[in-house]
Amino acid sequence: DAGVIQSPRHEVTEMGQEVTLRCKPISGHNSLFWYRQTMMRGLELLIYFNNNVPIDDSGMPEDRFSAKMPNASFSTLKIQPSEPRDSAVYFCASRTAGDGQYFGPGTRLTVT
Amino acid sequence: GNSVTQMEGPVTLSEEAFLTINCTYTATGYPSLFWYVQYPGEGLQLLLKATKADDKGSNKGFEATYRKETTSFHLEKGSVQVSDSAVYFCALSGYNTDKLIFGTGTRLQVFP
C-alpha cells in the first residue's frame, strides 16, 4: 500500500495568494483528517470527514480555510487568502474503523 | 473531557539504555490508546496501540501496557538505539469517536 499521499510536499507562496493542499487517503479508509503542526501550537486537528462528509470542523481557524472531500480517494484543504501566520506543516491522515490513524508525509507551507 | 499528559522532554539517553516515557490519560468509558513516533521532517507513524485494559501493544522493541487502574500507557524499550531519536506522542481515541487526543510529545535524543 502506498500510504497516505500528500501534495505538494513543499509550498512557498506570497501573502494573499490562494493555496491548495491535496490528499489521497489509504484505499478503503473511510475517515480522513487534516492537521496543522507548528512549534508554538503543536499538532492541531483542523477538520475531519467520515464517508466523505465533514463531521467536525471546529478546528478550522477562520473562514479563510476550507476543506472538501468530493470522493473517497481525494480531499483538498484550501487557504484563501493566505497569511504568514498560516506557515506550518499540514498533515493529512486516514483510518478505518477500529484502527489508528495513518499520517501522510505532510506539506510544509511557507507564506512570505 | 478526554486528555493526555506526557512527561516533559527532552529525554537524553546513551545507546543501549532503558527507555521509559510516561503517559497518563483522563477519559470517560474505555478509550483506545496509541503511541506515535515522528522522525525529523516526517509525518507521525503509528508505533503501537492497545484497545482494552491489560492489553500490551508492541512493535520494533517498544512496548506499552494499557493500565486502567493507574490510567497509564507508558512507553518502554529495553535498549535504545541512535536511530530511535525522534518525538514520541501518546494519544487516545474515546469510545465511539474517530478523533485522536494527542499529548504534547516527548523528544528522545539517543547518543552513541
Q: Do A42 and B45 touch (CB under 8 A)?
A: no
Distance CA A65, CA B16 (A): 46
How far apart are the CA of A87 and the nearest CA of chain B, in angstroms? Answer: 15
B16-37 confidence digits (pLDDT tens): 999 999 999 999 888 999 999 9
Point out which residues pair with A68 in neighbouring strands: A76
Nearest to A100 among B42, B43, B46 (CB): B46
DSSP assignment, residue A26? Answer: P
In a 13 Å sphere around the CA of A105, the CA atoms on its Cβ side amount to: 9
B75-90 confidence digits (pLDDT tens): 999 999 999 999 999 9
Task: Bin A30: left if φ > 0, else alpha if -120 < ψ < 50, else beta.
Answer: alpha
Give pLDDT tens digits along chain A (112 positions).
689 999 999 999 999 999 999 999 999 999 999 999 999 989 999 999 999 999 999 999 889 999 999 999 999 999 999 999 999 999 999 998 878 899 999 999 999 9
Q: Going by C-beta distance under 8 Å and a sequence separation of 6 or more, which residues neighbour residue B27?
A: B2, B3, B71, B92, B94
Q: Do B43 and A91 touch (CB under 8 A)?
A: yes
Determine the pLDDT at residue A1.
64
Nearest to A106 among B43, B49, B93 (CB): B43
